[in-house]
A and B are shown apart, each in its own frame.
Chain A
Amino acid sequence: MKRKVLWGGIALLAALWVSASGAATSALKATVIDRYGNQHQVDKFTFQGRQDLEIYVQGQRRLVELVKVDRLRFEGERSDEEQRVVLVFRNGVQEAGLMVTGGSASPHQDAVGGGSSGRRFSGVTELGPFFILASDVQEIVLRHPVGEEPPEEKILKATIITMNGRRFEVGNLRYHGKQRLDFFRGRNKRFIPLDKVARIDFEDGGTGDEFRPITATYWSGKTVMGTVEASLVRLSGETDKSYFERVNRAFTGVVGSSPFAIGMHDVKHIRFRQDKDEESAEDSAADTNDSNTGDSIEGDVGDTVEDSQ
């Protein structure tokens, strides 16, 4: 009897302690459907303890935040080390990519404390802790709070001017697959959210310089200075593809309907456009057409596309 009471007291204390201590864990909920069709209602849903997925879209690595995803479907076999995955985002956009799911791969002998593949989805169900290997999953439906607005992801439009004066009107601009520019302030790494920036000026770096100074001006008027990596040096161990991508595909996007890419060393200036600018530009273009002046619009949009693919 005493033991029961003792355990009861311990359980009570543990429950109170857990509720009192605010551990910032994942608040995501998901319905996981395995390859046998079983559904699992999972709280605190994460992938390898992270709240993002590493996928490859058109060969480019991208980290996708789970909070932006509505559902994802695996379209491969269990034994595949890499599977095609279709993501449906909360804003309705659908995208397909590749994701390494592990398959039958086993951890390397050097992995201390290993013994199982790290590629697993985990969380908590009513029955207790839950995990499932990514290769055993068929589909995942994220359950976001009803009425919660999905995180906004703007499609960034910008004008890029190169070092030799060429100009490109670029849509869906990204820096290494992200909508933020990593830079260094001293030896501290920071980022600039590209959707909050009006313009970025790149100073001239000397030939062979590994870093270029930049000045970013936010829409709010704030100015941030720092340096970005712009090395052309090929590192020992770098493959042809990774070297080419690092040097020549710092910024990617689309020009018209063609893919666009440019290296950090080649950018002189980036000027971002807000939706208002876009509308006013369209209006002015319409006015220009109406008045039949015959003037051509400045710029060589779509004339020259640096397509690295």
Chain B
Amino acid sequence: MRALRPLMPTATLVSLVAAVPLLGTIVTGPGWWFPAVLMMVGVAAASALYRLTGWSATAVPFLQIFVMAVLLTPLFAAHTAVLGLIPTSGTFPELVRLLERGIDAVNTGTPPVTGTAGVALIIAVAFAVIAMAADFLAVTARCPGMVGGLLIALLMVPLVVDDGGVAPGAALSAAVGFLVLLSVDMWLRGREWGLPVPDGRDPSVRFLVGLRRAAVAAVSVTAAVLLTLTVPLAVPSLRSDVIHQAADGTYIGNGPGVITTTHPLVSLRSNLASGSDRTVLTYTTDAEEPDYLRMYVLDEFDGVNWAMSPVDADDDSRIEDDLPLSAGWSGEPDGPTATTRISMDSDAPSLDFLPMPYWPRSVDVAGEWYADPGSLMVFTTDSPRTGLSFTVESTSVTPSADELAAAGQAWSAPGSLLALPDDVDPRVAELTETLTEDADSPYERAVALQEHFTGGGFDYDLTPPAVPEGADPLVHFLLEDRVGYCEQFAGAMAVMARQADIPSRVATGYTAGQRMGDGRWAVTTGNAHAWPELYFEGVGWVRFEPTPASADGQGTATVPDYTDGTGGDATDGTGRDEEPERPETEPGPDDEPESDEPTDAPEASATPGGEGTDESAAGPASGSGGWTVPVWLPVAAAVLGGLALVALPALVRTAVRGSRTAALTGGSPAAAAHAAWRELRDTCVDLGVTWDLTESPRATAARLAARGPLPEEARAALWRLALGEESARYAPEPAVVREPREDLRAARAGLVAASGRGDRFRAVLLPRSLAPWRRPRPDLGPAPTAA
């Protein structure tokens, strides 16, 4: 038994390693899982080896923490250690630095986050702690079922932070790992305590037990996969886009579709993807043309996603009076001033970043709020109440094209606003170079970039086709399929602007929304939007609009007059009229349906469902080399499958009977008598005849014989079987039943003949004896209490 002690720690390790792929949808990149697995192996090995000694389990967690600490150095800070193993004074700061970077990446990045060393460190430590907890639950406390709670917690991580859900394969792997843990536990318990095996000598029982185990395993695995696929359909916040397309036509309910999250792009996506177009806020304004309502500013590009750099909530940034001026602004703003009174809808989730028109001068809002001086985002660290109302004084930034054209190279903006990762594909830079060749000023370059997007070469689609595995999403959007929505347009233009030496960032929030009859403006989830802001020296941050603004694009988007690129004389608004026409000049035959206005969401999302079906149908067809499946084949397969399913219980029952009949001859008299009696019992159970475990065999035989008109042959056979069973059970030496096969046949025939037609039919098709819970059980009556 001692040699088996490491088995439970090992099984626990297997179940956790099998759960690692659950994070596959939220972490990208190679090798992030390796440190986690290694740490878990270390933790499990510590437990397994220690438990071989048989000493008190109290020491196990300490040993495991030690192993974790020892492993961290070579895995994450090898360069600071002697021989890569022995930590030096520089090791700990290095680990802390990595950890901080990882926390930053997780907090500010959008899923999937890149599996950098910091992220891998967080994952490794988290998994090691989970492994310790699992080891305690499964081995020390010997409740391996509780490990399921840890696995569910792991499963919740990707579900909560991202809309992508969990890959069915990953869920399957986790489920199988958990089953392995449970079966190892069961097997060990069997060795330690013995299992209540009904009767190992009856081959039919062994067969049934094996069958039942296989069925339980199959049902569990199937249920795991099916739940993974179907639960997102029913729970709005779990919908992945692909399933959403197929399911939206039947989507019921309007639960909270927006996840309050620190990832602006995720809430943007879920806002736009949610089929229901719910009001987020209403506002009144004295401006003629209200500006966009900006919430987040994403100013760091990691090669795939734009992310928000950390903001500080301290006394310096608390809002008391006027907000700080926006960087680069010289002098007082001279644009038209507007007062906007915004009321958050009480049904909408509360936001910890305020949506406000740019450029806000002062905010009148209850509670403790902070402003980020660089971006002028206004946020709180409390959880604000829903239905918040606040008033914003803002000055609209509407420079003329001439002013912008006169703006020189940016010199006062921090260099980080031009920073791009090294691994941005050079083809993007080439494209930027080509587009801005003829432009002299930063402004002209910016206009050239915007025109590249709005010039008709791009299609707007809220559900763009998936980026192939391994492809750079930016390159894929810019150069290959050119389909996307505001997030792609804004992000790509901001990247290209930086390449063109214009400081840029991505803002997200809402468009101005729609005017209602009573003069108020209503902003809905469908108005969620992202746009680039570009910085011009002497002017400040200026909004651009690369996203198509027509009914085929973000319907309520407006293109600022100053970006029209035709100089001062273009500020008459004609540019805005042109915009909607451009995408219509070359609409693809299949891109109209899905690029509808999000406010018509039910229609919009129902139609793409059709397209999704087309795609999925196209896949297999092209894979099978053009051979089309005949219509009758699936029908025939379904009919055959149905028949097989219907016949399955009968077949299994026949197999059981066959195995018992085989035991009737050749074995010991007792085995034969038991087999015959069990078969008689199952026959009765199948026929719906009572089988009373408090009755002795002869009493049972007497009752069965008295039940109905039984032929004499059957009565005699029944009696012989009962006496055979009785002597096999109670006599010192069992009597030999001479013709058990014949007796069984006669008794069965008599019982079947005495039953009604319905019972007989049911006994063949749905033999109740196969269901363990339908088997007769002793009725022990009420639990005995102390008298």
Q: Decide whether A and B are members of one complex.
A: no
Interface residues of B (CB under 8 A from A): none
Interface residues of A (CB under 8 A from B): none
